[in-house]
Chain A
Amino acid sequence: MIVRGPDVSKSRVVECDVVVIGTGAGGGMAMRRLAEAGANVVAIEEGPLLDASDMTQLEDDMLPKLYQERGARMTEDFSVRVLGGRCVGGSTVHNINLCKRLAPEVLRHWAEDFAVSGLGEPELRPSFERVEHELDVSAIPPGDRNRNNRLLQRGVEALGWRGGALSHNRVGCQKSGFCALGCPFAAKQSSEKVLVPAALARGATLYTETSALRILHDGSRALGVLAAALDERGRPRHEVRINAPVVVLAASAIGSATLAHRSALPDPHAQLGQRLHLHPGAAVVGVFADPVDGDRGIPQSYECTEWLDLAPGSDKRVWVTTAFAHPIGAAVTLPGFGRRHREWMKRYRHIAVLSAMVHDETVGQVSARRDGRPRIRYAMSEADSAQLALGLRAGARILFAAGAKSVLIPSVPPIEISDPAAVDGDRAVETIPDQVGLPHHIALTAAHPMSTLPLGDDPTRSVVQSTGEHHQLSGLFVLDGSVFPTSIGGPPQIPIYTLSHHLSAHVIERAKRS
């Protein structure tokens, strides 16, 4: 059953076995697993339920519809734009569908240095396989690579660098290129398409347009959730109190940490919201003689991993992929204004865009502001900024190797390069200095917030146990991107779906005991 917030006509109290907050990768999977196990599940989602016919492919329409804070959420100093979903399905509705498992070296690092137990590669493998099967994960066929991605591949191969094909979870994709604005063809095997309906079919109840205000607890046990049913304009109207002995928090790394702060959860070791990672990234643009038309086709289908080594302490921590944007996104990124800017926009069809994304060591903080919204602090370290610059240099070399006439780093001031030799060897650091990667010197975007309620067995260094259950509050589980102890250096959806799938077994057990 689905109950829309605007349809709730008076305050109410609901009783259930488990309440799930958020319906993205983590929440959708938990909801489905719990409903299948026979639990009486109520899920709360602050955004609306949308379907393919709502996806107009217009940036100015879809960004406010699909994204938190209308797509304009920023870190406190305005240096990084932090993207995340606000609708049934969460960020899986507008993500780019790349699918990768957690790297074994990352899992080893968690076990050895963060006291994580029971989550090694062999233990997680069956869950990864199950999740990939359920979400129809497959390799993107080489024939489906658009020109932007073929240019990345050509450049990587010409340089003899490491690169390869990516996998995705799409079925019936029309290659329209609008993934980040929601799929108008229902081709994404996302949470709201695959998992939420399966949970509803097993008797789960979903409150949409209903925002969790506080997790209810007595200091040692979770007791439920206090939520507000929103009206048509998104304003809180009626209280919905959900009494449940088990609560699953899956409101994303930003949303969950904010809600945890608002709920004054016990935090004796001051760990809550203290280890935010973002995978911050920036763009590098190549201008080609022939049209690239990067806006059409599957947006990302090839990767360069030459500069990405996930071993702890590595000095190669940058992932290079493609990152084409629709006109508003492109206009905001390209440098200058007025006539100068327009000259750049005229090349729209002829540009290829790559992105350099940092597997970050910087730790940021998430807390709640007085108006209840997240406060995100993230002062990118010099080491991470240098990694970003390394990635931008790599991107520039790839574009030239693929035949670009010129390359642009859209920093302040912009760096325009027409001589490929300028990004080769020692000259590269002069052309694209490390400072380019510093915050406020280039537009930084983060689509992968993580690690705000990290898991591990040591309560002085983590917020939840390796089972996902809170160290101090029994019955509260966290099952979303918040639980990664470190940055993961790759697309997070499959890791989140999988951890939620795997750890849901503990939630089911706890629900049975309650």
Chain B
Amino acid sequence: MAPVLDRSRRRFLGWAGLGTLGLAAAIGAVRSTGYELHPETLARLRVLSAWQYVVMHAIGRRMLEPETADVAAFADEYLSGLPELERTELVKLIAFIEHVAPLWHGHLRRFTDLDDDEQDTVLETLEHSAIAQLRAGFAAIKAMSMMAYYRLPRAWEAIGYRGPVSPRSLK
């Protein structure tokens, strides 16, 4: 099993990740254009920008398939309640998944331009990365996606969870 890499603490990416982000920028994989979002959705966002929303939506889709939930809207709400440091790290991680992680598999396209199988491969690589911080980052993004779905009564029904027992909570 991979040794624990402890070069940068409390950073999902650290200098290595940011270095690759720089590399991605140099070869032109980083663009923040081409992300379409309905103006009403955009107006509701507290933390995420249009492109971050679109990426989070794509990640959430793969995390929950075949189910669906508005992971990006949930992530925006969730991130708004986090302290600055954690919020910035998670937003950086979203950028990393979009622009850098696909390079590992030789894709010069962004995560959101990959097909479903390619996206899954990228996420699996993060999940099993030899770099401990990337595994932790994957766990954080997965947790947000799972929260967005498994807080919904339709998700409970699908797994046979009976939900709260006090009448008040059902109001």
Contacts and interface: CB of A to CB of B under 8 A. Distances in A.
B151 A60 contact: yes
B165 A69 contact: no
A337 B164 contact: no
B62 interface: yes
A295 B156 CA distance: 12
B138 to A, nearest CB: 9
Interface in B111-131: 120, 123, 127-128
Interface stretch (B2-10, B19-27, B100-108): B2-10
Contacts of B156: 327
Contacts of A348: 159-161
Contact of A373 (B83, B159, B160): B83
Contacts of A150: none
B12 A56 contact: no
B162 interface: yes
B155 A56 contact: no
B132 interface: yes
B159 A440 contact: no
Residue among B83, B85, B159 with the most chain A CB within 10 A? Answer: B159
A296 B162 CA distance: 9
Contacts of B1: 433, 435-436, 438, 441
Interface in B25-63: 62-63
A332 B86 CA distance: 18
A184 interface: yes
Contacts of A58: 151, 164, 169
Contact of B161 (A60, A178, A295, A435): A295
B127 A327 contact: no
A174 interface: yes
A72 B141 CA distance: 13
Contacts of A373: 83
B133 A60 contact: no
Contact of A185 (B139, B145, B166): B166
A96 B134 CA distance: 32
B51 to A, nearest CB: 22
Contact of A328 (B65, B150, B158): B150
B82 A70 contact: yes
Given A327-B161, A371-B84, A60 B128 contact: no
Nearest to B63: A337
A39 to B, nearest CB: 36
B125 to A, nearest CB: 12
Interface in A71-117: 72, 76-79
Contacts of A346: 158-159
B70 interface: no
Contacts of B9: 76-77, 377
Given A76-B10, A339-B66, A439-B132, A57 B165 contact: yes
Contact of A178 (B62, B165, B168): B165
B151 A59 contact: yes
B67 A342 contact: yes
B61 to A, nearest CB: 9
9 contacts: A56-B168, A60-B147, A72-B82, A78-B139, A332-B143, A345-B159, A349-B161, A435-B1, A438-B1
Interface of A: 53, 55-60, 64, 69-70, 72, 76-79, 174, 176, 178, 184-185, 291, 295-296, 326-328, 330-332, 336-339, 341-342, 345-346, 348-349, 371, 373, 377, 379, 412-413, 433, 435-436, 438-441, 443
